[in-house]
Amino acid sequence: MRIIPLIIAVVLLATPPVLQGQPGRVPRIGLLSPGSPSAATDAFRRGLAELGYVEGRNIHLDFRWAEGRAERLPVLAAELVQAKVNVIVAFISSAAKAAQQATRTIPIVMVGVGDPVSLGLVASLARPGGNITGNTSLGPELNAKRMQLLKDIIPGLKRAAVLWTPRNPLHESSVRRTEAAALVVGVELQPLKVTSVDEIEAAIRTATEQHAGALIVLGDPLLSRTRIAPLALERRLPTTFLERAGAEAGGLISYGPNMGHGTCQRK
């Protein structure tokens, strides 16, 4: 996460005075997320403070949380544009797309976007172009690695389920890549589509009834670890998550970027 505050600092320093509003105005940083406040939010504040940007002193943070309702993101992004923020920090793919659709002039810093090129957020990783920069979580590639880890931990694994939602623009490609990885290690993959929180329990029940030996949960605020982990534990279904908090909630392992430290984590 530390690289993101550094990018924001560069953006603020490079922002022309005309975009900063009246002289002496405290720069406003807008944060857009499909989820809720988390440890990553605290890490973001710490990273800014390490660079001399302290909320309430020389910056103003304007948060917009969708609380798991991704359909709200376009409205929330528009609110940040109307608030005349100097930069928008967009957490994961759905927020970055909403921000891109809301403005082509305000700088956007994306965080943890799985495949920004295929989503049309940037022209390339080397030369993003436009008004978007930031980092990528390499989500689709990591899903294949998680499949391999499951097979290493459970050598006899023959069938695994993957929990995904069509509300996430990257999940269809992530499922395809996970299927390809499963084929390589001799595992049959069972995709389970979820469109609302109410469908999660039924999906996990289906996985066990169809003899899945493990569950892969793709990263998305809708697929809540606090809801999924206990249900999977109850059915003795080993589960892998993208974030460390998933393993801490009861999952078997997690493998993905550590949003608090900017490194890849494995637990």
- Same CATH fold, 139-266 and 3-136? yes
- pLDDT at residue number 49: 86
Residue written as token pair 């469109």: 195
Amino acid, res. 24: G
Fold of the domain built from segment(s) 139-266: Rossmann fold (3.40.50)
Residue of higher predicted confidence among 249 and 189: 189
Q: What is the pTM of this model?
A: 0.67
Higher pLDDT, 137 or 86: 86
More confident residue, 92 or 80: 80
Q: Given a cut of 60, is residue 18 above it in pLDDT?
A: no
CB-based contacts of 104, cutoff 8 Å, min separation 6:
130, 131
Percent of the chain with pLDDT over 70: 85
Class of domain 3-136: alpha beta
pLDDT value for 56: 86
Contact between 221 and 245 (Cβ < 8 Å) = no
Mean per-residue pLDDT for 122-130?
Answer: 84
Mention every residue, 6+ apart, whose C-beta is less than 8 A from residue 233: 250
Q: What is the 3 state secondary structure string of the chain?
A: CCHHHHHHHHHHHHCCHHHHCCCCCCCEEEEEECCCCCHHHHHHHHHHHHCCCCECCCEEEEEEECCCCHHHHHHHHHHHHHCCCCEEEEEHHHHHHHHHHHCCCCCEEEEEECCCCCCCCCCCCCCCCCCEEEEECCHHHHHHHHHHHHHHHCCCCCEEEEEECCCCCCHHHHHHHHHHHHHHCCCEEEEEECCCHHHHHHHHHHHHHCCCCEEEECCCCCCCHHHHHHHHHHCCCCEEECCHHHHHCCCCEEEEEECCCCEEEEC
Question: How much is the average pLDDT of 117-143?
Answer: 80
133-178 pLDDT, tens digit per residue, is 887 766 666 777 888 899 999 999 999 999 999 988 788 888 988 9
Do 235 and 222 touch, CB atoms closer than 8 A?
A: no
Per-domain residue ranges for the chain?
A: 3-136, 139-266
- 214-251 confidence digits (pLDDT tens): 999 998 888 888 889 999 999 999 999 987 888 888 99
The structure tokens listed for 85 are 């923020």
At 39 the pLDDT is: 64
Average pLDDT for 182-205: 94
* pLDDT at position 122: 87
Q: Can you name the residues that pair with 263 across neighbouring β-strands?
A: 258
Confidence of residue 12 (pLDDT cuts 50, 70, 90): low
Per-residue pLDDT at 50 exceeds 90: no
Instruction: Kindly indicate the confidence band of residue 4, based on its pLDDT and cuts at 50, 70 and 90.
Output: low
Query: Per-residue confidence at 259, pLDDT binned at 50, 70, 90?
Result: low
pLDDT above 80: residue 8: no
pLDDT for residue 92: 83
Which 3-state string (H, E, C) describes 176-241?
Answer: HHHHHHHHHCCCEEEEEECCCHHHHHHHHHHHHHCCCCEEEECCCCCCCHHHHHHHHHHCCCCEEE
Whose tokens are 């993957």? That residue is 162
pLDDT of residue 264: 42
